[in-house]
A = this chain, B = another copy of it.
Amino acid sequence: MSSGLPDFEVDEQVLGKQLFDCITDLFPICRSITGDGVRETLARLARVVPLTTHEVPSGTPVFDWTVPDEWNIRDAYVKNARGERVIDFRRSNLHVVNYSVPFRGRMSLEELRPHLFTLPEQPDRVPYRTSYYQRNWGFCLSQNQLDALAEGEYEVCIDSSLQPGCLTYGELTIPGGSTEEVLVSAHICHPSLANDNLSGAVIAAHAARRLQSLSLRLSYRFLFIPATIGSIAWLSANEARVPGIRYGLVLACLGDPGPLTYKRSRRSDAKIDQAAIHVLQQLGEHEVLEFSPYGYDERQFCSPGFDLPVGRLSRTPHGRFPEYHTSADNLEFIQPAQLAKSLSACLEIFEVIEKDRICLNRKPNCEPQLSKYGLYDPIGGVAESPEFRMAILWVLNLSDGRHSLLDIAERSGLRFRQIALAADALSEHGLLENVQ
């Protein structure tokens, strides 16, 4: 993915299509927190960027939890008296309650009802339901479908298996000059739901692909994991790595039409919070949420024993769009342009944490005579803009060893990229040095 663009920038038109196509490819797979759907998803993501796949055996204790048995499913249906599949897994994997135990039987509609789940307030949509830790079985269908079912006997089949196996997750590390690590995590356990969270997984993979082509200061670790149990399993197996994690982002729900939304880490003023909020402010309409112990895997990364500086980048937060966890979270709900802008924002956040540093003005008494260095009213080049001239003045004024370039960007209201360019130009002329 070598492009003619500066390091952390992307061609949003090209990327939007690539991201959408990738999601389209992955959409039909029936994923869960374990099983072959996860393996197939990771195999296809590995075409974007090379991933390592890890298998954690069922029964492995992970903190207060235990890795569950592995679930796989081949088919599931409810047939009416005429043998017609009135509920059919082959039409949508959402029709089966995820992690349903194997079942075969015949029963009346009344007996079946406790196993049927609908959304009465959105009568044409199929809900997404799971039952990971309570052994049960069930079907999801639209309220309209349910209303059309006649009394009578039905044949029920869930051709699944739930037995010792493994929990599967993908991992990718991109080493940088420093051992300080950036953790990027996306959950990959949802079946045919597009925004939640193929959008996050696919953007993570493409962000990793771009970072692989760059010379990096920080090291990056990407995790493609089942929600909750996946992050718990990873943290349990990698406690020694935790102190090296200095920044982190959970990527989720990034393709819908809503504005970019950043949820602060538990620390609330970590460098990743400062960087992400700065980038979103510069990009325009956005929302910043305070930390809360609810949501996606930030719940685990930000548990008090770890308290990692991990925030979450989303668009409309989960639960705030009516399509959430329904059959309407499909390929029509996500937009290529929104996916591309999410990726852009993600890379710009990485750019900030990569390039942020503390510099020292080497001529701190009064302003230097900038015109001597071609930095005041220069003709041609980037230096032409008034923003660049202000960036030069801000960097000089605040490079006293106490303000990082990101601090300067924040205080000046200028985009970090502009501040970093100014710092580079001042360094070239010997007016600025990096603090050791």
Contacts and interface: CB of A to CB of B under 8 A. Distances in A.
Interface of A: 62-65, 133-134, 228, 231-232, 235-236, 239, 266, 292-294, 299-300, 302-307, 361, 363-369, 371-372, 390, 393-394, 396-400, 412
> Which 4 A-B residue pairs are closest in the complex by CB-CB distance?
A305-B364, A305-B365, A293-B397, A304-B400
Given A293-B367, A304-B396, 8 more contacts: A63-B363, A64-B367, A236-B366, A292-B412, A303-B364, A304-B361, A304-B399, A306-B365
26 contacts: A63-B363, A63-B365, A64-B368, A64-B369, A65-B366, A65-B369, A133-B369, A134-B371, A235-B365, A236-B365, A292-B394, A292-B412, A293-B367, A293-B393, A293-B394, A293-B396, A293-B398, A300-B367, A302-B397, A303-B364, A303-B365, A303-B367, A305-B361, A305-B365, A306-B365, A307-B400
Contacts of A300: 366-367
A397 B365 contact: no
Number of copies: 3
B293 A371 contact: no
Contacts of A398: 293, 304
A97 to B, nearest CB: 14
B367 A299 contact: yes
Nearest to A266: B397
A366 B133 contact: no
A385 B293 CA distance: 17
Contacts of A292: 390, 394, 412
A363 B232 CA distance: 13
Contacts of A368: 63-64
